[in-house]
Amino acid sequence: MTTATGATAVGHRPTGRWPRPFRLLYTATVVHDVGFHVGQLAVPVLAVDLLSASPGQVGLLGALSTAAFLVIGLPAGVWVDRWPRRTVLVTADLLRAALVASVPVAWWAGWLTIHQLYVVVLLTGVGTVFADVAAQSVLPELVGRDRLVAANSLLMTTSGTLQIAGRGLGGLVVQALTAPVAIVVDAIGFAISAAVLRRIPAPPRTAPTRRHGGFGRQLGAGVRHVLGNPLLRPLAASTAGINLTMQLTTTMLPVVFLRELGLGPAALGLFLAVGGIGALLGAVTAQPIARRIGHGRALWLPGLLVAPLGLLVALIEAGPMLWLAGLGWLALAWRTGIGNVIGVSLRQRVTPDALLGRMNATFRFLLTGALTVGAAVAGLLAQYVDVRTSLLVGAVANGLTWLPVLCSPLRALRRPPAPHAT
C-alpha cells in the first residue's frame, strides 16, 4: 500500500517532521477551535441570559446544532468522496463564518430572536457536517496510515488544550463583554481557518475512481462497511452512547449554573474547561495506554473505571460539591479523550481510501445524531420533569456505555489490522 509523505513502513515507528499540508490543517484546526469553543459557550448563555429562553428552548437549540448530521450526514460522505476535500473544508468554514457573524449583527441592530438562533445553529451544523467528514477523510492522505494514531493524538491533545483555553476565555469574555462579542470571536476564527486551508496544495490529478452503482448504492456501501464490520459496529454503538449521555448533562449545565446555582458565565466556562483538561489528559495518555494494554482494552477499561465518578456531576451544588462534580467531569472527559484518539485511528486504519468519506459520514451520522437526540431528550426531561433528572439519567446511562466494546471482538484487540483492498 502506498502512503503519503511522512508515512513509514508497517512495524516501524514514524519519525521526522510532519508534512506541510498536515501542518496547515493543524494550524487551521487550532484557529477555528478557539473560536468554536468560545462560541459554543456564548450561544446558550445568550439564549438563557439575554433572550430568556426556557429549558425546552435551550434543549431545542442544542438539538438543532447537530441535527444536520441526521438529515444529511450519510449523503455527505458520498459527496466528500466525490469532491476535492480541500475545497469542501474551505467552503464549510466560509459558510460558518457568515452565519455566525449574523448573530452579533442582529443583536446590535435589535433584531435577534431565538428563532434566528435556531436557524443559525442548524445551518452552521450543515457546514460542520462537511468539514468534519472531509477533515477526517483527508488525514490519511496527509500523514500516511502508520502515523494516524500519532496525528490523531496531536489533534486531540490540542483540542483538549483549546477546550481549556477556549471555554475559559469564553466565560471571561461573556462575563466582561457580553455574549454577542464572544460570538464575533467564533466568526473570525472560521474566516482565518478558511484562509489557512486554502494554502494546502491541491493533490495531483489522478484517474477518476470507478464508482460502483448510483448514489444510493454508494451510500449503502459506507453504512454496510461500518455496521457490518465486527470492529467498527461495537465502536459505533459505544461512542454513540457516550455522546448521547454526555449531551444530557452538557445541554443543561448552563441552566444549572446560571439559574439554579446563581453562578455566572465565568464559573460555567471554568467548569467546562475542566473537561478540556480531562480530554487533554486522555489524548496525551491514549498512545501509551494503547501500547501497554492494547487498543481494544483502551476503549472499554477507562469507561468501567470512571463510571461511578459520573454521578458526582449529577449531584453538583455550590460549595464543596462543586469541586467534587469538577472531579467527575474531569474523569468523564479523560475517558472520552482516550476513546477519541484510539477510536478515530481505528476507524481510519481499517477503512480503504475509497470508503473513508462514507465511513466517516456514517460515524458522524450516528455519533452526532446521538448528540441531537441527547439534547432533545435533555430539553424534554428538564421541561416536563426537572433539570436534575436530565443530569442523573445521563450519569447512570454513561456508566454503561463501555459494554458494547467489552462484548465484542474489540475487547482484547492489540493493534488494528490493515484495511482490505477495494
* Residue range 186-202, pLDDT digits in tens: 899 999 999 999 998 87
CA dihedral 236, 374, 113, 50 (to 10 degrees): -120
Burial class (CB in 10 A: 0-12, 13-18, 19+), 27: middle
Q: When comparing pLDDT for 96 and 147, which is higher?
A: 96
Contacts of 65 (CB under 8 A, 6+ apart): 43, 121, 122, 124, 125, 371, 375
**Total number of domains in the chain:** 1
- What CATH number is given to the structural domain containing 193? 1.20.1250.20
Question: Ranked by mean pLDDT, which of 142-146, 315-319, 403-407 comes out on top?
Answer: 403-407
Comparing 241-245, 380-384, 417-421, the range with the smallest average pLDDT is 417-421
Q: What is the pLDDT of residues 239-291, one digit of tens each?
A: 999 999 999 998 889 889 988 888 888 888 889 888 888 888 998 899 899 98
Quote the DSSP letter at residue 124: H
How would you label 233-258 residue by residue, b for 16+ Cβ within 10 Å and e otherwise?
A: bbbbbbbbbbbbbbbbbbbbbbbbbb
pLDDT in tens, 122-177: 999 999 889 988 888 888 888 877 787 788 878 877 876 776 776 677 777 777 77
Residue 420 falls within a domain, yes or no? no
Residue 209 belongs to some domain of the structure: no
| Residue-number span of the structural domain to which 30 is assigned | 20-202+216-412
74 in a structural domain:
yes
pLDDT number for residue 3 = 33
Tell me, yes or no, whether 63 lies in a domain: yes
Residue 6 domain-assigned (yes or no): no
Residue 14 lies inside a defined structural domain of this protein: no
Cα atoms found within 13 Å of the Cα of residue 69, Cβ hemisphere only: 25
Measured distance CA(46)–CA(61) in Å, rounded? 11
CB 143 within 8 A of CB 22: yes
Residue 208 lies in a domain: no
Residue 333 inside a domain? The answer is: yes
Judged against a pLDDT cut of 70, whether residue 211 lies above it is answered with no
